[in-house]
């Protein structure tokens, strides 16, 4: 199940195949939800992002109404699992921080509160309605929508406006994040970086060595920004939930101080690589990727 468009095959069929594979894989993970709920939740949410990225790539080759409806559907399905995923990430982030704390025992009370939140989030997924199974039903129904999805255009023109748009959005979001590196701006930029990463993975067959290296570097930036967002999210929870002040005021304070230090390091690492990925105009970027694609097709 390759997340890659094979340029030697009909491109509209390739897009449908890719989205349907993401849906089918999600359904398989939901079938095993009881065995590994955290993995199922993570994989489904990841597949919904991949599906939305594929739709974004061809958004100008399908009707605007169809694009908006499908994009909203996959976004909303993913949000059904958001609270449980967030609770799991909070625990994972805390665990990563504790090794650097001077007084790790002070964080044990914080951990107890986060574990209680985690259990509560998972109970809410199953009661009173079994959300994972309801989600599976909705995903199965959406396969027919993808089968019937009309995609117009030929060659790289199917993708040109879509990849140009996401690159332009990424440049703008990067500028805002650099001027004001708060959690919101960095998170918005991370989403644009992630979509561009997915687009380059989809188009990788155009020039595998170059595109794979480019995508790998974007993945590194996305990971740094993802960790930064996880830290921001945990900090927000620690500062705004009274449970933590009651449980361990000292533990909460030390964690927040460590989060701020860690964020500074991650941001510094991101800016070292960011500029080289967004140095050209969106028009020239799309033209360059299109040239790779056209050469690959002509050689085929």
Contacts made by residues 218-221, CB under 8 angstroms, sequence distance 24+: 218/193, 218/277, 220/273, 221/193, 221/270, 221/273, 221/274, 221/277
Q: Could you tell me how many residues make up the chain?
A: 300
- Residue 150 is predicted with a pLDDT of 95
Q: What is the pTM of this model?
A: 0.93
- Does residue 275 or residue 18 have the better pLDDT? 18
- Does residue 17 or residue 292 have the better pLDDT? 17
- Residue 19 is predicted with a pLDDT of 98
Question: Nearest Cα to 146, choosing from 20, 246, 233, 264?
Answer: 20
Cβ atoms of residues 183 and 154 within 8 Å: no
Domains in the chain: ranges and CATH = 11-299 (1.40.20.10)
Tens digits of residue pLDDT in 215-251 = 888 999 999 999 999 999 999 998 888 777 655 677 7
Tens digits of residue pLDDT in 163-198 = 999 999 999 999 999 888 777 899 999 999 999 999
């Amino acid at each position: 199940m390759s997340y890659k468009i094979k340029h030697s095959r009909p491109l509209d069929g390739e897009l449908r195949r890719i989205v349907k594979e993401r849906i089918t894989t999600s359904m398989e993970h939901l079938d095993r939800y009881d065995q590994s709920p955290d993995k199922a939740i993570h994989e489904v949410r990841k597949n919904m992002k991949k599906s939305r990225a594929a739709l974004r790539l061809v958004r100008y080759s399908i009707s605007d109404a169809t694009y908006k409806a499908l994009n909203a559907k996959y976004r909303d399905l993913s949000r059904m699992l958001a609270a449980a995923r967030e609770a799991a990430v909070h625990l994972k982030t805390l665990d990563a921080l504790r090794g650097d704390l001077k007084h790790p025992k002070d964080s044990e009370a914080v951990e107890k509160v986060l574990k209680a939140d985690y259990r509560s989030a998972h109970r809410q997924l199953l009661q009173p309605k079994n959300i994972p199974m309801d989600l599976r039903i909705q995903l199965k129904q959406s396969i027919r929508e993808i089968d019937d999805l009309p995609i117009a255009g030929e060659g790289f023109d199917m993708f040109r406006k879509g990849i140009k748009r996401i690159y332009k959005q990424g440049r703008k979001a990067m500028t805002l994040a650099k001027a004001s590196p708060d959690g919101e701006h960095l998170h918005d930029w991370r989403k644009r970086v992630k979509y561009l990463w997915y687009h380059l993975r989809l188009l990788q067959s155009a020039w595998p060595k170059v595109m794979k290296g480019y995508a790998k570097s974007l993945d590194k930036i996305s990971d740094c920004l993802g960790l930064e967002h996880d830290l921001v999210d945990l900090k927000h929870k620690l500062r705004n939930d009274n449970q933590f002040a009651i449980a361990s005021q000292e533990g909460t304070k030390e964690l927040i101080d460590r989060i701020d230090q860690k964020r500074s390091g991650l941001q510094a690492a991101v800016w070292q690589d960011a500029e080289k990925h967004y140095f050209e105009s969106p028009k020239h970027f799309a033209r360059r990727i299109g040239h790779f694609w056209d050469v690959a097709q002509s050689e085929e």
